[in-house]
A and B are shown apart, each in its own frame.
Chain A
Amino acid sequence: MSTDSSPLQDAVNTALGQNQQLRITGEGSKAFLYSGDTTVPLLPTSDHTGVIEYRPEELVITLRAGTKLSELREITAEHGQMWACDPPLFDGRGTVGGAIASGWCGPGRPWFGTVRDSLLGVEMINGYGELLRFGGKVIKNVAGFDVARLLAGSQGTLGVLLSASLKLFPMPEHTRSIATCVNLQESTSLISQYARKTSSLSGTCYFDGKLYLRFTGVAAAVDHDMKAFESNEEIDPQFWQKLRDHTLPFFADDKALWRVSLPRSTLFQNEDTEEIEEFLAEWNGSLLWCKTKNSLRPTISTKPQAIRSFRNIKHETSQSSKYARRLKHAFDPQKIFNPGVVL
């Protein structure tokens, strides 16, 4: 464990001096998502760990990037709090830095927000070898450009994240979940009923002819919402962790997996898409996980916002926009961080 960031800063400066490149890594739990050059030397942040400040009454925690997500969960749970965006731990590992760099969120995303929503401030090293701080530890802060939030999902291309301040939420007092056998159409219409009313719904998942719903909040509110499902099977809330971490049977095989992000009002009908063999839909039907015939890229008629090759397929190379290239240059002119990763 190290609380001193100077070894990381030295490593960056050495790389700059020697014109070398670096591949930033935490625990490597999401290495399968890495689309850059894997021959480049690693810069591990997994030793840069520990909580810098945690004041539960502030609902804010500041911790070093190498801290394990599992540790963050334990520490905050002791005070009845959580990092609500609930990033996945694909193999039980995963660090805070990795979660921020990837920007992935758990099944509660539509209700609890994203990694960037809860990111209040960061400390980082840019591609000039400078140690910089942006944002802060307070909830409201509009001084300067929002660089902290820009780092969420930037896949380590803009710099080395050293520490982050995260906004936490109180853990829900009560959680209950059900599974109900419905077809896709019925599932969609059931979910859309919740769109315009205040409820305790905080998770949806549809696959294999079953809709899974999660209700969280104060006990009376959850029990009230559950009344509509009295005749349905109540399931173990562990289901949602398995969904988050891809340990459900759906994710168990080695088939190519695609991730499709759909606009919120889209009514996905799998009849339109011949090549999709199997799919799972979460986030009110807006996030699809698809397995396709011959690993083909799924064609979806309802204009998806993003289709991404996720696992067991060669990552597609994309072209970055003029502004993305300039942004990269603004932080890392020598292109030392995560070469080959294109955003």
Chain B
Amino acid sequence: MITEFALTQLFAELPERAILTDRYEKEPFESDAYTVKKELPGVVVLAETVEHVRSVLRVCNECSIPLVTRGAGTGLSGGARPHREGVLLVLSKLNSVLEVDPLACTATVEPGTTNLHISEVAKEHGLFYAPDPSSQIACSIGGNVAENAGGVHCLKYGLTLHNVVGLTVLTIEGDELVLGGKAYDWDGYDFLALMVGSEGMLGVVTEITVKLLPIPAVRHVILGGFDDVEIAGNCVAGIIAAGVIPGGLEMMDELAVRAAEEFAEVGYPKDAKAVLLCELDGTEEEVASTTEKVTEVMKQFDASVIELATDPEQCERLWLGRKVAFPAAGRMASDFYCMDGSIPRYQIGPVLKAITNMSERYNLGVMNVFHAGDGNLHPLILYDASDKSQREGAEQFGAEILEHCIRVGGTITGEHGVGVEKIDQMCSQFSLAEIEQFHRIRNVFDVNRNMNPGKAIPTLARCSELGGMHVHKGQVPFPELSRF
């Protein structure tokens, strides 16, 4: 709880304008982009300097106050949902680009810097930052690190994890950890790998060094239309098996194609059951070769339409339909619920079929538009939030999709994070011993568990209540732990 004493401490160390206590000032911060569960933060701190961050950490540690860190608030899993009795530390104002090193091909930035801004400043050196979540115009790099954000181009260039080379992190105990750096390796444990995707539970990132890549000389986009979703799914595997790693490889189902067409009229084949968008980039010679290979594979898989875009304008047009898919879904139904399961590629066809069956059972529409090359599904469940039964149905439908992803060897989240949204499914994906190991790791950095409490890692009690407890030969795991 935020006591008078704690507030006094904050006001003593921070400028008054940086602390929001008034209900109306705090309201814009009551959720991130996962708006299902909102909470008014106890107090909001808009940090302007790293010193402000230090002060907040110190006060939260000394007074044992829950601390939730957030950037732009574009996260989709509620990882930055505030705590009613805690501090919401907003890092958006820490948005300076500290250095671009064109020789090392790195940029060092503050956490509030937007993802796209890094590529903008790198452009003059012929470089760019590869991970591109769909929210890249708004999302902050600090949030990308917390969630290990992905995007369309992760298939070839990797996730945030693969593109962050250094971090400066403040722990709640006030220690500054400098992890990684510009060298290709370093001594000691890979705490950098642990921090990326830790959903704000291990520390507050104050500086990030990212890897920059040369802007590819040539970029082509190939659109393939298919008469069968499963065959389109198999074509994805075929492209990869042909030894091609496309810059991006996206799939849209019939409903998604129709929605995109109605929204933006980009010229997709309206009668196709599925559309693949394959981006190929690199040197002129490389792209010429991979374009030929991918076209050949699409023919082998009986694509009914193959369209090749070679100039930037044509490429943009083909991508437009994919980019407007989410707003287009918004026109199909008053609300949609975006899932983020990740599965082995060979399961794409069967899983899409299973989702179609679920859709009929729940009597709710579903539209699929996703990163097929990574096996990262984004089913959009269409529903009306004002209808209680539809709302509950959508939640159950989503949970069933995730359980199905686990069953076929996948995971409950490919790039959006667990947050509050998928915390119950963590109990399905991990054993109690594994969850307990996560808690021990958490204790390494935050023994009092004040950093982003209630997110990402469920308590053992919660998993037990959900029936996830596995009783082996009549023995309850962790008999030493009290259950409540």
Q: Which of A214-231 contact B (CB under 8 A)?
A: 217-221, 223-224
Contact A153 B189 (CB under 8 A): yes
Complex-state Cα separation, A117 to B147, whole angstroms: 16
Contact A199 B344 (CB under 8 A): no
Interface bits A19-31 vs B (CB < 8 Å: 1, else 0): 0000000000000
Residues of A within 8 A of B417 (CB): 142
Asked if B189 and A113 make an inter-chain contact with CB atoms under 8 angstroms apart, the answer reads: no
Which residues of chain B are within 8 angstroms of A323 by Cβ–Cβ distance? Answer: 171, 175, 177, 191, 444-445
B441: which of A116, A133, A327 is its contact (CB, 8 Å)? A327
- Chain A contact residues, CB within 8 Å of chain B: 55-60, 80, 103, 105, 109-110, 113-114, 116-117, 126, 128, 130-134, 136-147, 149-150, 152-154, 169-171, 173, 192, 195-200, 217-221, 223-224, 261-265, 283, 286-287, 304-306, 308, 318, 320-324, 326-327, 329-331, 343
Decide: A144 near B342, CB < 8 A? Known: A220-B289, A305-B182. Answer: no
Q: Looking at the assembled complex, report how far the CB atom of B316 sits from the nearest CB atom of chain A, in whole angstroms.
A: 20
Which 9 pairs of residues, A with B, have the shortest CB-CB distance? A305-B183, A265-B104, A220-B285, A263-B182, A140-B414, A170-B243, A264-B104, A149-B193, A221-B285
CB-based contact B148/A142 at 8 Å:
yes
Compute how far the CA of A169 lies from the CA of B445 in the bound complex, rounded to whole angstroms.
Answer: 35
Task: Please give, as numbers and ranges, the residues of chain B lying within 8 Å of A198 by CB-CB distance.
Answer: 214-217, 282-283, 286
Residues of chain B within 8 A of A224, CB atoms compared: 283-285
Instruction: Knowing that A57-B345, A262-B183 touch, tell me 6 more A-B residue pairs with CB under 8 angstroms.
Output: A130-B433, A133-B434, A136-B410, A261-B186, A306-B186, A323-B175
Chain A residues, Cβ within 8 Å of B193: 116, 146, 149-150, 152
User: Would you give the 0/1 interface string for B257-293, flagging 1 where the beta carbon is closer than 8 Å to chain A?
Assistant: 0000000000000000000000000111110111000
Stretch at the interface among B11-19, B47-55, B83-91, B194-202: B194-202
Residue of B nearest to A323 (CB): B444
Q: Which residue of B lies closest to A152 (CB)?
A: B190
The reply to whether A343 and B188 form a contact with Cβ atoms under 8 Å apart is yes
Asked if A116 contacts B190 (CB within 8 A), the reply is yes
CA distance A114 to B429 in the complex (A): 27
Check B457 for interface membership: any CB of A closer than 8 A.
yes
Between A141, A146, A147, A320, the greatest number of chain B beta carbons within 10 A of the residue's beta carbon is seen for A141
Contacts of A217 in B (CB 8 A): 283, 286
Contact status of A221 and B183, CB under 8 A, knowing A142-B414, A146-B196, A150-B194? no
Count of inter-chain pairs, beta carbons less than 8 A: 259
B332 sits at the interface (CB 8 A): no
CB of B362 closer than 8 Å to a CB of A: no
CB distance from A251 to the nearest CB of B (A): 19
Please tell me if the beta carbons of A286 and B241 are within 8 angstroms of each other in the complex.
no
On whether A324 and B189 interact (CB within 8 A), knowing A132-B431, A195-B105, the answer reads yes
**Docked-complex contact B410 and A103, CB < 8 angstroms:** no
A-side contacts of B161, CB under 8 Å: 117, 146, 149
Contact B185 A147 (CB under 8 A): no
Residue of B nearest to A224 (CB): B285
Is B220 located at the chain interface by the 8 A CB criterion? no
- Report the minimum CB–CB distance from A312 to chain B (whole Å): 19
B6 on the A face (CB < 8 A): no
Fill in one digit per residue for B424-447: 1 if any A CB lies within 8 Å of its CB, else 0: 001001110110011011111100
Nearest CB in chain B: distance from A226 CB, A: 11
Of the A-B pairs whose beta carbons lie under 8 Å apart in the complex, a sample of 28, sorted by A's number, is A55-B346, A58-B237, A116-B190, A130-B437, A137-B409, A138-B344, A139-B342, A140-B371, A140-B414, A142-B413, A143-B430, A145-B202, A150-B190, A171-B243, A198-B216, A198-B283, A199-B283, A218-B285, A219-B289, A263-B181, A264-B103, A265-B101, A305-B181, A318-B187, A320-B188, A321-B188, A323-B175, A327-B189
